[in-house]
Structure 1
Amino acid sequence: MSGRFGDIATYAILSLLAVFFATPFVWMLSLALRTPSEIYLGAARLIPDAPTLGNFARILSDAAFLTYLWNGLKLSALGGGLAVALAIPAAYAFSRLDFRRKEAALIAILAVQMISPLVILVPLYRWMGSLGLLNLDASVIALYGALGMPLAVWLLKVAFDAIPREIEEAAIVDGASRWQVLMRITLPLARPGLASAFVLAMVTNWSQFLVPFILLERDRDWPISVAIFNFAGSVSASTTQLLAAACLVAVVPAVAVFVFLQRMIVSALIAGALKG
């Protein structure tokens, strides 16, 4: 009986959390489906009298908006790929090698993940400015990779831990080097973990605002997060529906990735815990 009550309480709390987080999206969808005249109704009517998809059509037909979407996708994907590439050697070493203070080093890496980018952006801006690295996609991608690497190290270590060492030891006995074992055996077997680390890093980069806002000054280089922020600063009541439509379109890629890949992500996260 107590177990059943606990399940009911758990689902009730999760339902409340779902309503809490879904409410802003429902309200934003209501705004995005309105005509300019219905914007002034405010919260008086959630469902518009004459819902329209014209706001989405107008946003998606804007060449500048599509450029911002492409910039966001490009920077996020390349930054996520760099984070995973940098994390692979470190995660493999933590998983397979024994060395002093390994646990302390793992905790230190996790502590780095907890540091807000805001702490380092001002000195980073001055340093990159002195090196002539502002307004470069490569600078943003490099910083995305550095910021995403700590979490990727932890995720990939879990994935590598789930792979039996006996498979690698057999390959080493047959004459394979440690590098060949990693590239030809371990990484193919760790594909779900690699994909999960990449997806999480990419989604985090997609929602990143401070880094591109500080490092990219030309509007043609902005990702969608920065572009929407600047558009919101000039929005009026007559264009609120366009802002809502743009925000929804910007959210769709991240939500779609989690919806379609959630099982793979969860299985990769718990793979190390289920080992043995």
Structure 2
Amino acid sequence: MTGRRWQNAGLYLAMVVTVVVFAFPVLWVLSLSLRTSREIVATPPPLLPASPQWGNYTHVLETTGIGGYLLNSVIVVAGSVFGCLLLCVPAAYALSRLRFRGRATFSRGVLAAQLISPLVLVIPMYRLFVTLGLLNNYLGLILVYVAVTAPFQTWFLRNYFDSIPVELDEAALVDGCTRGRALRSVVLPAARPGIASAGIVVAVLSWSQFVVPFVLLDDSSMYPISVGVVNLQNQGGEITTQYLAAGSIIAVVPVVLVFVALQRYIVGALTAGSLKG
């Protein structure tokens, strides 16, 4: 029992250290966003502002185009989630239920495709998009996001479909349903938690992309929030450190709120999907 207690204590200590390491930069940026100009350059810098300057957020919202950047991100993320699920759900169902030659090799290939970083392909994609006329185009950006996120989500949803009893499909087929009808009417309702989890992960990854939109978008009015925050210092008005920090917090808050509100669905889907595969 003593050994188990020490083991649990060590585990909790490691978790606390991990949380502190990842949370401290965010809390520091939050502190910067609430400081005055004098506190920004103070030595040593204060850990907490003496009087939180919530007006810094009002200044950023009123004098910059951050609202438009947020809207751009919402458009791109919504299109990416829809396109990724439209592609991944039937592909994952086929890998889970259908038996065909090369199925295992194809599944491994899908997962291996996730190892290809978009940073390696972004310059060739730029030249291709110039040729196709997809530069400064939300459709082109969405296609890249779908290509980046689809491999892992296909693999994840295949494992989730594996956790759903195949007898449901067989009963629907006996009743006269086609494969497509069985997927829509029987399997999808049972797979809603997994599909929702996949959609949330795609949304978070698409929201945080920086290099791809930075390279493929030349029109600053089309920037998503990840690139728009960096562009704040090029806009009119007094954009200093505390205002950049406030813009960064505004960019992060939507993702944090979505994740906190829906984390139980994500954890449940990941647990169910890991039971098989």
* Equivalence for 2:270: 269
Indicate the percent of aligned positions where both proteins have the same amino acid.
Answer: 44
Distance 1:89 1:43 in 2: 57
Aligned residue runs from structure 1 range 1-276, under 5 A: 1-41=2-42, 43-62=44-63, 64-231=65-232, 239-274=240-275
Deviates more, 1:91-100 or 1:33-42: 33-42
Residue ranges of structure 1 left out of the alignment (5+ in a row): none
Task: Give unmatched runs, 5+ long, in structure 2.
Answer: none
Q: Partner of 1:61: helix, strand, or coil? A: helix
Deviations 1:206-232 (A, max 9, x none): 000111111111011000111112335
Secondary structure of the 1:41 match is: coil
Q: CA deviation at 1:114?
A: 1.5
Q: Say which SS state the counterpart of residue 105 (structure 1) adopts.
A: helix
> Which moves more between the two structures, 136-145 or 62-71?
62-71
Q: CA deviation at 1:130?
A: 1.0
The one-letter amino acid of 1:159's match is Y
1-structure distance, mates of 2:103, 2:12:
39
- TM-score normalised by the chain length of structure 1: 0.94
- Secondary structure (helix, strand or coil) at the match of 2:80 reads helix
Separation in 2, partners of 1:42, 1:193:
50
Q: CA deviation at 1:55?
A: 0.7
Q: State the shift of 1:255 in Å.
A: 1.1
Comparing 70-79 and 232-241, the one that deviates more: 232-241
- Which letter maps to 1:113? Q
Q: Distance in 2 between matches of 1:61 and 1:234?
A: 12
Normalized against structure 2, the TM-score is what? Answer: 0.94
8 Å contact kept, 2:66–2:229 = no
- Cα-Cα RMSD: 1.9
1:44 to 1:210, Cα distance in 2 relative to 1, 3 A: closer
Q: Alpha-carbon deviation of 1:269?
A: 0.9
Partners of 1:129 and 1:238 lie apart in 2 by 33
For 1:148 and 1:142, the matched residues in 2 are separated by 10
- Rounded to whole Å, the distance in 2 between the matches of 1:131 and 1:83 is 21
Tell me by how many angstroms 1:273 deviates: 3.4
Q: Is the 8 A contact 2:63 2:236 kept in 1?
A: no
Decide whether the 8 Å contact of 1:207 with 1:225 is kept in 2.
yes
Q: What amino acid does structure 2 have at the position aligned with 1:273?
A: S
The answer to whether the 8 Å contact 1:80/1:148 transfers is no
When residues 207 and 238 of structure 1 are mapped into structure 2, their CA distance, relative to the original with a 3 A threshold, is closer
Q: For residues 26 and 273 of structure 1, do their structure 2 counterparts lie closer, same or farther at Cα, with a shift above 3 Å needed?
A: closer
Q: Summarize the Cα distance change of 1:230–1:63 in structure 2 as closer, same or farther, 3 Å threshold.
A: closer
Q: Match of 1:129, as an amino acid?
A: V
Cα 1:208–1:4 change in 2 (3 A) is same
Would the alpha carbon gap of residues 143 and 43 (structure 1) be closer, same or farther in structure 2, given more than 3 Å must change? farther
